[in-house]
Amino acid sequence: MSVSDGLRDRLPSSEDRSGVGLRAATALTYLFLYGPIIVIVLVSLDAGRYGLRYEFTTEWYRNMAGRSDLIGSLLLSVQIGIIVMIVSTVLAVVAAFGLTRFEWPRRKGPIATYLIFVPLTLPIIIYGIGLFVFFTEIGVGRGFLPIVVGHVMYTFPFATLVVAAGVLGLDRSLEEAAMDLGADPITTFREVTLPALMPNVLAAALFSFTLSFDEFLISFFVSGGGDIPLPVRIWGMVRADIEPEVYAISVVVLAISIAIAALATRLQRY
């Protein structure tokens, strides 16, 4: 074997180099996506705040627990999220069956689908400004009701998309068999259709809660009168100087959002 052959055997092949490059690119992508999250978690446990020396502490979490404004906003966001979750999911089930089962005319069917899903492509700030003007003009102003209405408008198309995917995948022969055995449409829906669709319904509900819980722009325009959701409260705390309790509450929100999103994704697989 010549010297050149020996060097060629020792040098990495083009496939090995491409594999290393792909792994490096993947690692950098994950670092780009999750780097800020890791930093927030680390800073929430750092007594030095912005210093180079890291000092572990849970002081910011203890201070957060004693902040009535933060806890109140957190509970308000949970309350709004639950209401939005229920309303959006019920509307999504009705809309999903209307879009997939109703015999639409050839031209009206695509238009109906477009009208429901086009809000997914619109900037959220349009919702916020429009709702602010609307509720101001009718004399309602800012507060709990405008927040709930705005969040339902925002989450409803997402929930409908999830439920509609489940309706399209249903085996209609099961419903037909139930009706052949004497079940009326309501009984068939309650005993056959809804249980089969339940994973998608639960996933839509959890996604709706997560989207509502994290929503800022709509809440920013229509919140007021003492009803301040957590994202708006956090924004107010970071306008001048970031209070360290913000790091702690951010980690709490992050944990809740990840847990709910993971559960919704898992339910949608079944």
Per-residue pLDDT tens for 197-207? Answer: 988 898 899 88
Domain map (residue ranges) of the chain: 13-59, 68-268
Percent of the chain with pLDDT over 70: 86
Q: Is the predicted pLDDT of residue 4 greater than 70, yes or no?
A: no
The count of other CB atoms within 10 Å of the CB of residue 184 is 10
Q: Considering the entire predicted model, what is its pTM? A: 0.81
Q: Is the predicted pLDDT of residue 5 greater than 50, yes or no?
A: yes
Q: Are 209 and 85 in contact (CB under 8 A)?
A: yes
Per-residue pLDDT tens for 108-123? Answer: 556 777 777 777 788 8
Q: What is the CA radius of gyration of the chain?
A: 25
Query: DSSP H helical segments within 171-244, as ranges?
Result: 172-180, 185-188, 194-214, 217-222, 230-237
- Collapsing DSSP to helix, strand or coil, 227 comes out as strand
Q: Take residue 27 and report the two structure tokens written for it.
A: 């690692």
End-to-end CA distance of the chain: 58
Say which CATH class 68-268 falls into: mainly alpha
The count of other CB atoms within 10 Å of the CB of residue 45 is 17
Q: Which pLDDT score is estimated for 7?
A: 47
Q: Is the predicted pLDDT of residue 50 greater than 70, yes or no?
A: no
For residues 215 and 218, give the distance between their C-alpha atoms in angstroms, rounded to a whole number.
Answer: 7
Q: Is the predicted pLDDT of residue 256 greater than 80, yes or no?
A: yes
Per-residue pLDDT tens for 220-252? Answer: 999 987 889 999 988 888 876 777 888 888 898
Q: Is the predicted pLDDT of residue 52 greater than 70, yes or no?
A: no
Best-predicted range by mean pLDDT among 11-20, 55-64, 79-88, 126-135? 79-88
Q: Are 43 and 49 in contact (CB under 8 A)?
A: yes
Residues 6+ apart with CB under 8 A from 249: 64, 70, 74, 230, 234
